[in-house]
Amino acid sequence: MSIGRRQFIRAGGAAGGAALLAMPAITRAQSSTIRIGLMTVKTGPLASGGIDMERALVMYLKERNYMLAGRKVELFVGDSAGVPATARTKLQELVEKNKIHVMIGPLDAGSALAVDDYIRAQSLPTLSVAAAEDMTQRKPNPWFVRGTSTSSQCSHAMADYCTKTLKWKRMALIADDIAYGHEMLAGFQRVFEENGGRIVQKFFSPLAVPDYGTYLAQLKTNIDGIFLGFAGSNGFRYLRQFNEYGLSSKVAVVGGMTALDESVLRNMGDEALGILTACWYSAELANPLNKAFAANFRSEFKYDPGFYAAATYVEGAVLETALKSVDGRIEDKVAFMKALRATKAFTVRGPVAFDDHGNVVGDVFIRKVERKEGRLVNTVQYTYPSVSQFWTYPPAEFLKNPVYSRDYPPARNLEP
Amino acid sequence: MTSARRSIAIGVLLLVAALVPLVAGDYYVNLLSQMMIAALLAASLNLLVGYAGLTSLGHASFLGVAAYSSAWLNLHSGLGPLASAPLALLGTLLVAAVFGWIALRASGLGFLMLTLALSQVLWGLAYRWVGVTEGDNGLRGLTRPQPLGLDLDSAAAFYWMALLVVTIALGLIALLVRSPFGAALRGTRDQPRRMSALGYDVWLIRWLTFVMAGFWAGVAGVLYIWYHQYIHPSSLSLQASAEVLLAVIAGGAGTLAGPVVGAVVVVFLKNFVSSYVERWNMLLGIVFLLIVLFLPEGLVPGVKRLLTRLRSGALRP
């Protein structure tokens, strides 16, 4: 067949979009549809995840026939290209032109930080995928909930696992040089060092770095392992070069929630086998909702859903639950926001609830890459139940410290 | 067109432009604000490309320097956005003076490469000097100024402010181009050796033009940072510089209206059409290709030529 299913869907979408444009403005104004804006990334190094975000959300809405809480919904998608300045322009467009009621996204912490003040100014309810810590910590945005996790929410758990179960003492860390990478490594370092370990090397590589050679050449081999805090397809690119440099037999690898995401795992080979990562989701989760979701996603797109796909699917469920509790009246923003924050939903990742700051409290899984039915999957090894963004620290004490960053907590054990 | 008719036309255009926010939605008003900022940037580059005959591939740097320094001052020195603007412009002026001094050691291709190299240095600095620029996260948490108690947070108020600033700036650029200095500048473009023989200091004229072009790009940068309240290294990337150059050449280098029209076309494709067409870059390429093929002198002079031909054709018996 020359026209694939996906192409057909895309063509259908385009035709639908054209029809929408042609529709007179008056009918659009009168219809009481709920307009959802999805801010994602469809070009650049983060695109693999961004496309998953759109696919999963469209799937969620399609399964409900584009009806949530008895009201018709309409989806508008903005592509930020992973550039924070563009995210701002695109969000303005979603708000001012498409008049969205609620935003799902953005994908990356940089974009979330760039649109933070705009969200406040517009009082726009936002269900974030991006992990920017302070938006639910020291500078909580009242219009913001996050059903996924903060940058460090899963890396805290990974560090705990590395010290307590793997008994590691010396580690190196590497991540993209963006807020997400800084925060993830900072959280990992804090727990790892407080549990008695030492971080002896810490690297930040530019998001669009063409080659990891210089970072690999510097890597010490007398360490227990390296933690990868990459986003998008960078984990895949790093690991491939890591393997080419012959390091895979010398240094063990663990990763954060997006380093070996299912969206890039499908392109990897045996070099990925056995790698442990921490995430709030795995396509292998056995709950009934996820079994159906993963199977449907796989049959439609021929690969497993990962962090990004699950993110919008979870946010979709949170949105629907909140809408139901206010009988679909999204126009009353304050009431809707209150309902959103009080939402308790069972989703594909398991139970989801929010803390006082609008961030999720949910299970975090330690997963291991295994080969199953001929494809690589992240099998769940261990579960940390009901993990909060504050890990085991009392929130008040946690918030007294500066936000996790490139320089905080200071890395005191670096070796030259 | 006689000068009286031209003045009337410009007046009507300005009046229409000023009335737009009363009828258009916020999105379109904001789109126009962005177009005006881009138009000023393109007009400033046009001083170099069109009137001095010097093609620069690093003009977005000046927008970036002004925006970054204004943002940094705003965040770290306690100065308001309005008070930090003159300092930011002064900084831009200095950077332009130094860059001009370096880049004007060459002309033609050498000049192009030097401007490219210098702009890449600044771009790299914006990316890697994390302590000052916050690298890939960009500078945020900025506010718009409130001159005379006017709140520029609304789309319409900002638009009117930008319209005023950009109109004045474009007017001053037009004055400069028509002044004796402008004539001398065109002289250095067409006959540098003869100008030299006539006693003009060609290098000085070019350098002054470079600095002025940098300054007006800086003004665009200040408007940019006020508008977006956010700055990221991508704003001074090679792509950003290339887009401005594209706007100038597409619109018609060496004409006053050309860069404005070019900037409008580029911003329209980039911000508006990109919501419907994912590969808007390709579309921009095609549009540019068509302009080069059919209107090689640019949109404004090209359309003028076609109109003239049409009119004289119609008048012929």
Instruction: Name which of A83, A88, A206 is nearest B127 (Cβ-Cβ).
Output: A206
For chain A, the structural domain boundaries read 5-150+286-362, 153-284+363-400
A97 Cβ under 8 Å from any chain B Cβ: yes
Give the per-residue pLDDT at A10: 53
Distances (CA, A) of B177 to A39, A288, B50, B313: 44, 72, 10, 32
A89 Cβ under 8 Å from any chain B Cβ: yes
Under the banding of pLDDT at 50, 70 and 90, the label for residue B1 is low
Distance from the B140 Cα atom to the nearest Cα atom in chain A, whole angstroms:
6
Cross-chain Cβ contact A85/B141 below 8 Å = no
Residue B75 pLDDT exceeds 50: yes
Stronger pLDDT, B52 or B312, i.e. the higher one:
B52
B275 Cβ under 8 Å from any chain A Cβ: yes
Chain A residues in contact with B230 by the CB 8 A cut-off are: 84-85, 88, 114
Residue B131 pLDDT exceeds 60: yes
Residues 6+ apart with CB under 8 A from A135: A112, A113, A116, A128, A141, A144, A146
Tens digits of residue pLDDT in B112-122: 999 999 999 99
Domain A153-284+363-400 architecture = 3-Layer(aba) Sandwich (3.40)
User: Which chain B residue has its CA at the smallest distance from A43's CA?
Assistant: B278
Give the per-residue pLDDT at A366: 96
What averages of pLDDT result for each successive group of 10 residues across chain A (416 residues)? 49 47 42 89 82 94 94 92 82 91 90 88 92 87 93 95 96 91 94 95 87 93 95 88 92 93 86 93 94 95 92 95 93 94 94 94 95 92 95 94 89 90
Which residues of chain A from 106 to 135 reach within 8 Å of chain B, CB to CB? Answer: 109-110, 113-114, 116-117, 121
Which residues of chain B from 223 to 262 reach within 8 Å of chain A, CB to CB? Answer: 228-232, 234-235
Give the per-residue pLDDT at B175: 94
Chain B residues in contact with A85 by the CB 8 A cut-off are: 138, 228, 230-232, 234-235
Whether domain A5-150+286-362 has CATH 3.40.50.2300: the reply is yes
Tens digits of residue pLDDT in B272-315: 887 777 777 788 889 888 988 888 888 888 888 888 888 887 65
A79 Cβ under 8 Å from any chain B Cβ: yes
Give the per-residue pLDDT at A24: 43
Write the ipTM.
Answer: 0.72
Q: What is the mean pLDDT of residues B54-64?
A: 94
Cross-chain Cβ contact B228/A88 below 8 Å = yes
Chain B residues in contact with A406 by the CB 8 A cut-off are: 130
Instruction: Name which of A21, A78, A113 is nearest B137 (Cβ-Cβ).
Output: A113
User: Which chain B residue has its CA at the smallest distance from A176's CA?
Assistant: B136
User: Which chain B residue has its CA at the smallest distance from A108's CA?
Assistant: B137
Give the per-residue pLDDT at A27: 40
Give the per-residue pLDDT at A47: 85
Size of interface A-B (CB pairs under 8 A): 69
Instruction: Name which of A42, A85, A96 is nearest B228 (Cβ-Cβ).
Output: A85
Enter the tokens of residue A180.
């997400």
Cross-chain Cβ contact B230/A121 below 8 Å = no
Sheet holding A102-104, edge to edge: A67-68, A71-79, A34-40, A102-104, A126-128, A144-146
Q: What is the mean pLDDT of residues B186-195?
A: 92
Cross-chain Cβ contact B137/A88 below 8 Å = no
Q: What percent of chain B has pLDDT over 90?
A: 53
Among A74-83, A239-248, B82-91, B138-147, the minimum mean pLDDT is found in: B138-147
User: Which chain A residue has its CA at the smallest distance from B139's CA?
Assistant: A114
Residue B19 CA to residue B32 CA, distance in Å, equals 12
Residue B4 pLDDT exceeds 90: no
A5-150+286-362 shares its CATH topology with A153-284+363-400: yes
